[in-house]
Amino acid sequence: MAQASTTLAEDLRGLFRGMLRVDAVARRLYARDASIFEVEPQAVAIPQDADDLAVLLKYCQEHQLPVTARGAGTGLAGESVGAGVIVDLSVHFQAIRQIASDSVTVEAGVRYAALAAALAEQGRRLAPDPASGDVCTIGGMIATNASGSNLYRHGYIRDYVQELEVLWDNGESARLISPAARPCPLKRGESGETGVRPAAPPAAEGPRTADIRRGVTELLSAHRHLIACRPTATPYDRCGYRLDDVWTPAGVDLARLLVGSEGTLGLVTAARLRTIPLPGGCAMLLLGFASLEAAVRAGSDCRRFPLTACDLLDQRLLSLRRRPAHPGALAIPPSVAAALLVTIEADSPEQALERGWGLANTLCSAAGAVLLAEPSCDPQQQARMRAVRQEAVRGLYALGPGPRPLPGIEDLGVPAEELPAFIAALLELLQRREVTAALLIHLLTGQVHLRPLLDLEQPQDRVRLWTLAEEVHSLVLRLGGTVSTQHGVGWARTPWVERQAGPLYPLYRELKRIFDPRHLLNPGKIVGPDPSREAWPLYEPLAQTPAATLSGNGRRPLPVVFDPAAAAEAARCSRCGDCRTHQLPQRMCPLFRLSELELAAPRAKAELFRLLHNHPQR
Ligand SMILES: Cc1cc2nc3c(=O)[nH]c(=O)nc-3n(C[C@H](O)[C@H](O)[C@H](O)COP(=O)(O)OP(=O)(O)OC[C@H]3O[C@@H](n4cnc5c(N)ncnc54)[C@H](O)[C@@H]3O)c2cc1C
Ligand code: SF4
């Protein structure tokens, strides 16, 4: 690999203006994202702009080099991890080009939080609000069809994409204008919709774009009846390529098709996105339940109210959160086995509060709930309520050595009415397999974030996780659910895509062939698995004893004093990517803030300890 990387660097010298790193350290630091997977790339490229990226893509196509786009690397499924060249779009591509009255044009590397702040000044917002929004990029959100806790009311980002600027595998650029800025089909209640617009005038298309459009049109029209049948019974499904809603009277909506394709069909450099007004009023409340089952059953009552979000935290999450108990933090009595954090947006604060009290009274009288925090529109009280969730999740990540909450099976979706049956079966399965786990459930949409606590440093737990994934995913599919409802497919879920898609799967393969005939764009994801590697390329465990000590081996210009205990401590980094934040007071590293380079992020420094421990000779 070293020779090939050097050749790449030499070939691109003078052609590629951005940063190109082929050294072992950079390659290792980009070998992981927020998932449990690790694949060392051949090179890391940080293009200056779209023209620079086009040069790189053209070269990679000519030399059969795989290319994987990367934003903030917060994917939980290994979506941005791959062999070949990792293209980091989070450093440049930072412009918010234009904020119009009901849309925004933004480049791919802009962080969601930065965009949200700019839009808020105009009284607008991009409605889907992922929990990773402080750090994740717009490009990553589009590529994963991101959504937030407010999915029930505001839908996926797919419903907000009006136009994409993309580059195909050969470096040709295209402007893909969605034939209509359609209303959100998942929308509940008022959402600041601007309605259907007339189709945009056709733009001059390059030859590759024309070929792709022709190929996709033929494929979809030949299989119109097949693509009309969704493989799942839940509408909250982002698995595979979504073909059922890209056919329009004005032709195929290529922009919409690309959303959620995880960089496997083309690379997005900029987007025009529909925005909606900030809510007139927003109330939050916190409810407690004596059992997880009772809280899950309350979901049907919740869905009768016009709620925006309803997140259920299980007892394990709550117990972790109880530990820090800051002064002023909301108290959660030990008798509470599950808590519901509810958000209600409305036209005015009064209306939001009224709806909040309506829900609280119903759940307290009919479902045995207790009110842990009254409906409130006060930002400080809302921050205290949100902190319950944040502290619980952080508490989970901060667990010491040993079993840790793992992503990999964390993105399950079942029809909301099946949720009680699913949770009962899931708990029974976990008990049978003697696995403890934490659950965060989006009650309105039937989405379950399952985090089994296993120790991937132990060989037996690496096998147990795969076995558990197989059983849990089978259960989900039996109930008409999806293995990927919010996060990406990536390495984690590609092995189950074919089973979920059924007769649609050959169409996915054909679609991939039309866009990327050489399988160079993020290969092995969605359409796969890649037979040349194991289905789950799990990260390398920490070596029991370091292979060699660094100091005094004579190969380093500086003497490095290295403490193996530090590696064990650094290995506790959950890879969540929170340290890439620019938000106060969480932001951490001035070097990262200055350079925006992943290599300078605290996460990379933690990874460096692991690398030094396992491979001191490198
Ligand atoms: C703590 C935590 C909470 C999370 N909460 C949510 C949540 O609430 N909702 C949610 O949807 N997700 C969530 N995620 C998952 C993840 O943050 C999202 O998928 C996010 O949109 C990824 O953005 P990113 O910039 O980190 O992209 P990356 O992880 O870097 O990349 C993700 C995928 O997008 C592709 N990609 C990136 N940029 C481009 C581009 N410009 N063109 C083409 N392809 C590209 C990559 O190749 C990869 O396939 C969470 C993750 C963490 C760690
Ligand atoms: S260093 Fe901390 S914030 Fe950064 S990825 Fe690791 S655990 Fe998350």
What does the pLDDT look like over 223-252, one tens digit per residue?
999 998 888 999 999 999 999 999 998 899
Cα 196 to Cα 468: distance, rounded to the nearest angstrom: 44
Q: Would you say the CB of residue 268 lies under 6 angstroms from ligand 1?
A: yes
Q: What is the pLDDT of residue 195?
A: 36
Q: What number of other Cβ atoms are within 10 A of residue 585's Cβ?
A: 6
Kindly indicate the confidence band of residue 490, based on its pLDDT and cuts at 50, 70 and 90: very high
User: Is the model's pLDDT at 559 over the cut of 60?
Assistant: no
Name the token pair of 587: 């932001």
Indicate if the alpha-carbon torsion angle 487, 490, 494, 498 is positive or negative: positive
Higher pLDDT, residue 203 or 403: 403
User: Is the model's pLDDT at 181 over the cut of 50?
Assistant: yes
Type of residue at 329: A
Q: Would you say the CB of residue 575 lies under 6 angstroms from ligand 2?
A: yes
Kindly state the percentage of the chain with pLDDT values over 90.
Answer: 76
Cα 419 to Cα 443: distance, rounded to the nearest angstrom: 8
31: left (phi over 0), alpha (psi -120 to 50) or beta: alpha
| CATH number belonging to domain 281-452 | 3.40.462.10
Compute the residue count for the chain.
618
Residue 128 alpha carbon to ligand 1 centre in Å: 13
Pick the residue whose CA is nearest to atom 3 on ligand 1: 132
Q: What is the pLDDT of residue 379?
A: 96
Locate CATH 3.30.465.10 in the chain: 96-277
Residue 575 alpha carbon to ligand 2 centre in Å: 5
Which residues lie across from 129 on neighbouring strands? none
Name the token pair of 462: 């690496």
Q: Would you say the CB of residue 376 lies under 6 angstroms from ligand 1?
A: no
User: Is the model's pLDDT at 522 over the cut of 60?
Assistant: yes
Ligand 1 pocket test target in 70, 261, 343 with most atoms within 8 Å of CB: 70
Cα 149 to Cα 413: distance, rounded to the nearest angstrom: 13
| Residue 525 Cα: closest atom of ligand 1 | 49
Q: How does the average pLDDT of the chain come out, rounded?
A: 91
User: Is the model's pLDDT at 337 over the cut of 50?
Assistant: yes
Higher pLDDT, residue 614 or 287: 287
Locate CATH 3.40.462.10 in the chain: 281-452
- Contact call for residues 445 and 73 (beta carbons, < 8 A): no
Cα 140 to Cα 110: distance, rounded to the nearest angstrom: 10
Q: What is the pLDDT of residue 615?
A: 82
Between strands 85-88 and 96-99, the pairing is unpaired
User: Is the model's pLDDT at 533 over the cut of 90?
Assistant: no
- Contact call for residues 592 and 580 (beta carbons, < 8 A): yes
Kindly indicate the confidence band of residue 534, based on its pLDDT and cuts at 50, 70 and 90: confident
pLDDT average, residue stretch 59-63:
97
Type of residue at 536: W
Q: What is the pLDDT of residue 486?
A: 97
Kindly indicate the confidence band of residue 394, based on its pLDDT and cuts at 50, 70 and 90: confident
| Residue 575 Cα: closest atom of ligand 2 | 5
Phi, psi of 520, deg, nearest 5: -105, -20
Q: In what order do the strands lie in the sheet with 103-107?
A: 96-99, 103-107, 267-274, 161-167, 173-177
Q: What is the pLDDT of residue 185?
A: 47
Q: What is the pLDDT of residue 197?
A: 41
| Residue 34 Cα: closest atom of ligand 1 | 53
Kindly indicate the confidence band of residue 436, based on its pLDDT and cuts at 50, 70 and 90: very high
Q: What number of other Cβ atoms are within 10 A of residue 284's Cβ?
A: 25
Residue 558 alpha carbon to ligand 1 centre in Å: 37
Residue 71 alpha carbon to ligand 2 centre in Å: 16
Cα 280 to Cα 287: distance, rounded to the nearest angstrom: 24
Checking 454-457 for CB contacts under 8 A at 24+ apart, the result is 454/403, 454/404, 454/406, 455/402, 455/403, 455/404, 456/36, 456/404, 456/406, 456/538, 456/539, 456/541, 457/541, 457/542, 457/571
CA distances from 356 to 300, 373, 387 (A): 16, 11, 19
Cα 162 to Cα 184: distance, rounded to the nearest angstrom: 12
Cα 320 to Cα 388: distance, rounded to the nearest angstrom: 10
Q: What number of other Cβ atoms are within 10 A of residue 14's Cβ?
A: 7
User: Is the model's pLDDT at 219 over the cut of 50?
Assistant: yes
**Which candidate, 167, 161, 164, 139, places its Cα nearest to that of 50?**
167
User: Is the model's pLDDT at 315 over the cut of 70?
Assistant: yes
Cα 563 to Cα 28: distance, rounded to the nearest angstrom: 20
Cα 577 to Cα 35: distance, rounded to the nearest angstrom: 10
Residue 147 alpha carbon to ligand 1 centre in Å: 10
ipTM exceeds 0.90? yes
The architecture CATH gives domain 96-277: 2-Layer Sandwich (3.30)
Mutual angle of helices 459-478 and 490-501, in 10-degree steps: 30
| Residue 577 Cα: closest atom of ligand 2 | 5
User: Is the model's pLDDT at 200 over the cut of 50?
Assistant: no
Type of residue at 111: R
Q: What is the pLDDT of residue 304?
A: 94
Q: What is the pLDDT of residue 192?
A: 42
Residue 140 alpha carbon to ligand 1 centre in Å: 4
